[in-house]
């Protein structure tokens, strides 16, 4: 199965974004450090312009959290603000300090994800969905606390879990988003 075309590339400069149809914001790092790097190197404006042109953005784990307004990992910083909710420590809602392992997610929007499946999570922060963003929430973890697992608004998708580590189901989900 071929998932990606030959024109997939890592972006080394914010100016390269203009020539792409889809960008994937990966899910590794510290929100404060990533936010400062993106701001310092001009990525914020380019990615916001990318979204304004109705091109696809897929955020994975930290990449999903970067889609929101206020981030708290490693200090207070700003995300892209495509969604207004803030990102908080999991320990504020759970005895857990991290959410690591296979978790079953269930669909809130029955038209979005047909079957409940297990996906691999590895994060210490979660999106505290507010009423304004609630309509964009598509799936949550089945266990308590229920953590937003998938969000979607127009051309923007966010996955709190790591589809690339979630075996065949995760790869199929990325393919679905790319074809959306």
Instruction: Specify the number of domains making up the chain.
Output: 1
pLDDT tens digits, 125-177: 999 998 888 899 999 998 878 899 999 999 999 999 999 999 998 888 888 88
Cα distance between residue 72 and residue 113, in whole Å: 30
* Domain residue limits at 25: 21-179
Task: Give the model confidence (pLDDT) of 82-94 as tens digits.
Answer: 999 999 999 988 8
- Per-residue tokens: 19: 């020539």
CATH code, 159: 3.40.50.880
What separation in angstroms does the CA of 6 have from each of 14, 21, 119, 178? 20, 13, 27, 14
Q: 2 in a domain, yes or no? A: no
Q: Is 143 a catalytic residue?
A: no
Q: Is residue 71 part of a domain?
A: yes
For the purposes of burial, counting CB atoms within 10 Å of the CB of 122, is it exposed (0-12), middle (13-18) or buried (19 or more)? middle
Q: Is residue 35 part of a domain?
A: yes
Domain assignment of residue 16, yes or no:
no
11 occurs within a structural domain:
no
Q: Please give the pLDDT value at position 55.
A: 92
Is there a catalytic annotation at residue 123? no
Is there a domain that residue 76 lies in? Answer: yes
122 is catalytic: no
Residue 12 lies in a domain: no
Catalytic residue among 51, 61, 73, 123: 61
Question: What is the β-pairing status of strands 22-25 and 77-78?
Answer: unpaired
């Amino acid at each position: 199965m071929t998932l990606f075309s030959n024109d997939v590339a890592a972006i080394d400069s914010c100016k390269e974004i203009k020539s792409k149809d889809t960008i994937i914001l990966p899910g590794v790092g510290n929100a404060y450090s990533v936010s400062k790097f993106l701001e310092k190197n001009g990525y914020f404006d380019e990615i916001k312009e990318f979204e304004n042109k109705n091109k696809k953005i897929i955020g994975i784990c930290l990449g999903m959290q970067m889609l929101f307004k206020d981030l708290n990992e490693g200090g207070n910083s700003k995300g892209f603000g495509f969604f207004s909710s803030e990102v908080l420590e999991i320990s504020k809602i759970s005895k857990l300090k991290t959410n690591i392992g296979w978790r079953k997610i269930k669909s809130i929007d029955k038209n979005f994800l047909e079957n409940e499946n297990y996906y691999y999570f590895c994060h210490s922060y979660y999106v505290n969905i507010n009423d304004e963003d609630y309509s964009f929430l598509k799936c949550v973890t089945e266990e308590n606390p229920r953590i937003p697992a998938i969000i979607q608004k127009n051309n923007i998708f966010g996955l709190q879990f790591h589809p690339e580590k979630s075996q065949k189901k995760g790869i199929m989900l990325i393919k679905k988003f790319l074809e959306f």
